[in-house]
Structure 1
Amino acid sequence: MLDITLVMLVLVIAVALLFDYINGFHDTANAIATCVSTRALSVKWAIIMAAGLNFAGAMISTKVAATIGKGIVDANNVTQMVVLAGVVGAIIWDLITWYYGLPSSSSHAIIGGIMGAVIAHAGTAALHWAGLQKILLALVISPILGTIIGYIFMLLMMQIFRNSSPYGLNKGFRKLQIVSAGFMAFSHGTADAQKSMGVITMALVSYGMLPSFDVPTWVKIACAVAMALGTAAGGWRIIKTVGHDFVKLQPVHGFCVETASAGVILGASALGMPTSTTHVITSSILGVGLSKRITAVNWNVAYRILWAWILTIPASALVAYMTYMVMSPTLGK
């Protein structure tokens, strides 16, 4: 007799890995848009570097995975259907924003997706409001820090190198930007691959395969590989929005953006707090752009990005809610 719960578990794992893959190509821009736009690296080598360091970063820690797996909803109300519907909601929203070239947050999408699915299953009482407040606070504060640090870092560089020729300065920073882009790619792995690790481990605990929330090694490797493969596929629409349309960048600007962003993301990951790498790097670009002048920022693009940020959690939650309502009568709750 077919074990429907086992089939659901396999389906959840497959969809979570698909989300990781989509997250990888959706967020390729986070790591390499600035170094590609400033010609510090060719597209080919930027992608290879980002994919490898995304994998390495994903293997470092599971603190963010634990936050995603235990901090959003009551574990007693997590079923395979809840997890599946939550991830599907996140995937659909990621694909919509990718199609329109909007750098929205996969972190927000997966959090919104899980929230929408669990509300459909058990109502709002099943949400961990204290945990959600901490998570949402981190997601709000991190882009503010990105803007401030990017702005200050750029002003500091301008002061230190104020007597340097633009040509010599950019030639030197074009090499340094390779290091900062690698730093950013590594930090992206520590943050984003963790989300699927948390989702899969949540499903394994729900099924009874794990007695407690402890991410298995095979889950770490599978999520790291999926993220790296997605990164290698590349999200060119978003690279264009972030790297070219938002603020015109030179190598020194790209170095400041990537270093500031990676510092914020790694700090948050060390505390187990899920940040949006998309929000952090775009806010750092904003900070660097503002250090030049207000008109250096393409505010039309900024408004589009802002609306994508605002809509992501409610939109992915709504899609997940609807997915649960459609699929649960067929596949069971």
Structure 2
Amino acid sequence: MSNTTLKPTLDKDLEKVSRLQGANTFLTARFAAPSLSFVFLLLAMGISSIYMTGELGTGIVIAAAGVGAYLALNIGANDVANNVGPAVGSQALSITGALIIAAIFESAGALIAGGDVVGTISKGIIDPATVSQSDVFVRVMLSALVSSALWVNLATWIGAPVSTTHAVVGGVMGSGMAASGYSSVNWDTMGSIAASWVISPVLGGLIAAAFLFFIKTFIIYQSDKIAAARRWVPLLISIMVGAFSAYLAMKGLKKVISITLWQALLFGFAASILSYLVVKPLIARQAEGLENRNQSLRKLFRMPLICSAALLSFAHGANDVANAIGPLAAIVHTISAGEVAAKVSIPLWVMVIGACGISFGLLLFGPKLIRMVGEQITKLNPMRAYCVALSAAITVIIASGFGLPVSSTHIAVGAVFGVGFFREWYTRSSKRRVDYMHSETGRSSYTQLTAKTKRPKLVRRSHFTTIVAAWVITVPASAGVSAMVYAALTGLLMP
């Protein structure tokens, strides 16, 4: 009798214990990333204290190192998603594989080709003469670090991929105006940056849509898809190799050796020819025995897509690490030398903080934005993701040729939108698609049904609105926060 009364009690107790353990596991996992991030910030501050021991203003450098590390974490959580998101969304890479590849190549790009000199006034938007006093300059840079880090953190939280370059630009502009007034800003430069808000995504979307149109016309909607793939896929891959070779030369290798735009294009053309000769027989072999369907075509694009994710991450690490460490390097130099310089050398320990911060931010917080870019805007497969990746490289090359400041974030996300909106138009408007589907189904009513009544929505409008709004307000929001931080710092440091 006693056993039957004890057993239900024991089961209930065990169930309660199990629930408590499950809740504890959930809470532990939820707070693990912030805890590890806090440890990284402490390490960054500790490293800076070691290298700045005995220097006047060490406390400010330690604080700046913590904020710079915080910004680097946020860059990894937000910006890097654009490089690997399409590969994950198309299922060419798992989320784990994408995180590993991106972390390795981001760090390699930052440390190998991140450069050893950085401009102290971001993008030349503030007249250096207006912030020539060391204490004013340090407060301007520290305020820019704080504001851009806070804004990128907020954008990541709401699920909006934004340009960290624009956040830093806005931060420098806001604190510079707070320090020296409206006239200290180079408004011509700010005008070109504002123009890039439109140019970057539109150009990226148009180029991605153009390549997707080519693939649909000459490969997907052909009666013999495999034969068409043997003919055109090697050419598409060679274009990608050439574009990325030129892209890396311009955005990565230029930090190691001096290289002009035409030299980069020549290098890309040579790489394209060589890759075509190598890839053509490989694709022919890989296509043997494949069924005549779209699923077979996806296999041919998988490896190029993985390579593109790695190369985009390398170029991003080389090009954007200065966003996190540029203001920090400027603060370190100004505190140590007691003067404001137009360009400063980047100490190795500062570079390591930036590179590691970007990688840690990606690993700890990156999956949210990776899924947003790769899965939640529009449905991607390897062919569509290939168009997005290729568009990112080509758009940067074109923009550089015209001297236009563009954002890699805006380009990649704009390309994803471009692919989605193009598919909406193509699905309801393409006569080639309608005729192909009619011949495949044999239904006489298919043409009329598809051409006149079907209006698919293949892009989530809510994400489009949120992301565009975040892009538009990035610079003014970061500038406003930076101005307030500058005022607060001035009140604290100069009572």
- Both proteins in one fold, TM over 0.5: yes
2:126 maps to 73
| Residue identity in the other structure for 1:26 | N
1:149 maps to 207
2:113 maps to 60
CA contact (8 A) 1:67 1:274 kept: no
CA contact (8 A) 2:73 2:361 kept: yes
**1:263-300 Cα distance to aligned partner (Å, 9 max, x none):** 33466679997642221111011111122114322222
* Percent pairwise identity: 29
Q: Does 1:313 align with 2:475?
A: yes
How many pairs were matched up? 332
Note the aligned Cα RMSD (angstroms).
Answer: 2.8
**1:39-72 Cα distance to aligned partner (Å, 9 max, x none):** 1111111111111111232242549943853612
2:303 maps to 175
**1:292-331 Cα distance to aligned partner (Å, 9 max, x none):** 1143222221111111111111111111111122222112
| Residue identity in the other structure for 1:180 | S
2:421 maps to 290
1:43 maps to 95
Q: Does 1:96 align with 2:149?
A: no
Report matched runs for 1:105-254 at 5 Å. 105-162=163-220, 163=222, 164=225, 165-207=293-335, 209=337, 212-216=342-346, 218=348, 219-254=350-385
| Residue identity in the other structure for 1:257 | V
1:327 maps to 489
Q: State which drifts further: 219-228 or 107-116.
A: 219-228
Which residue of 260, 273, 276 corresponds with 2:391?
260
* Structure 2: tracts of 5 or more residues without a match: 1-53, 226-292, 426-456
Partner Cα distance (1:266, 1:14) in 2 = 35
With structure 1 as the length reference, what TM-score do the two structures score?
A: 0.89
CA contact (8 A) 1:65 1:196 kept: no
| Residue identity in the other structure for 1:290 | F
With structure 2 as the length reference, what TM-score do the two structures score?
A: 0.61
**1:84-142 Cα distance to aligned partner (Å, 9 max, x none):** 11111111111111111111221221111111111112212222334333444445422
CA contact (8 A) 1:12 1:84 kept: yes
SS in 1 for 2:345: coil
Partner Cα distance (2:118, 2:190) in 1 = 14
Q: Does 1:19 align with 2:71?
A: yes
2:236 maps to none
* Structure 1: tracts of 5 or more residues without a match: none
Partner Cα distance (1:255, 1:179) in 2 = 10
C-alpha distance 302-68 of structure 1, shift in aligned 2 (>3 A): farther
Partner Cα distance (1:91, 1:318) in 2 = 13
| Residue identity in the other structure for 2:144 | G
Shift of 1:246: 0.8
Larger Rg: 2
